[in-house]
Amino acid sequence: MSDFSKDNPPSYEKKPLQQLNDWLYLRAIFRESPQKSVQVYFRANPRAIKLIEAGMRNELERERVAPQYFMKASYYAAILPETEKQKLRGVLHKVEISNPSQNPEELTIMVISEAHQKQLGRAQAQFSRDEKTIKIEVKHEGISAPYDNPKNFDTFIELLAEYISIIDTPL
């Protein structure tokens, strides 16, 4: 019998290079954006949450899941019918990638509940470099499940980076 819970998920050690790659990719997208923040929406239904809490172990599953659970903010605002917006309102989480301090070596990702207009989680990355390497320090501030566990938040960011890497048009 398993004793896994949101506070004790299955072990999933994210390789430091993968974490660095995810954050560097998101920083590159942010730098190319003319806006002060980049926004997408995450459909946080029970299956999506379960996959995040399980660590997204299966690569093929992750490729299929990324476009299924995210949508561009412009699509939500301009194209999605009002009836669909009402259906999604309870499970949509707005994801905002920003640089509030204006420091080019910093990036913040906030997850906000659309239904309750409150922050659910936040992860901030601080980049630093020496002569040969780029390093990253990530601070997590999970406020509600599934974002209160750093491993889960890392998995969410990996999924976000995967989604942004496969869409064709700028955010």
Strands 118-129 and 37-43: unpaired
Domain-embedded: residue 74: yes
Counting residues of the chain whose pLDDT is more than 90, the rounded percentage is: 31
Domain-embedded: residue 7: no
User: What Cα–Cα distance (Å) separates residue 32 from each residue in 5, 47, 122?
Assistant: 39, 32, 22
126 φ/ψ sector (left φ>0, alpha ψ -120 to 50, else beta): beta
Residue 23 pLDDT > 90 = yes
Structure-block tokens of residue 54: 């399980």
Number of domains in the chain: 1
Mean pLDDT of the chain: 84
Domain-embedded: residue 109: yes
Domain-embedded: residue 10: no
pLDDT tens-digit readout, 93-145: 999 999 888 787 899 999 999 888 899 999 999 998 877 778 889 999 988 88
Residue 39: give the domain boundaries. 16-164
Domain-embedded: residue 11: no
With 0.85 as the threshold, say if the pTM is over it.
no
**Distance separating alpha carbons of residues 105 and 131, to the nearest angstrom:** 16
Higher pLDDT, 111 or 73: 111
Domain-embedded: residue 125: yes
The residues near 122 (Cβ < 8 Å, ≥ 6 apart) are: 108, 109, 110, 111, 140, 141, 143
Q: Please list the alpha-helical segments (H only) found in 80-145.
A: 82-88
**Distance separating alpha carbons of residues 26 and 112, to the nearest angstrom:** 18
Domain-embedded: residue 92: yes
pLDDT of residue 171: 56
Tell the residue number behind the tokens 């420091």, with chain if given: 103
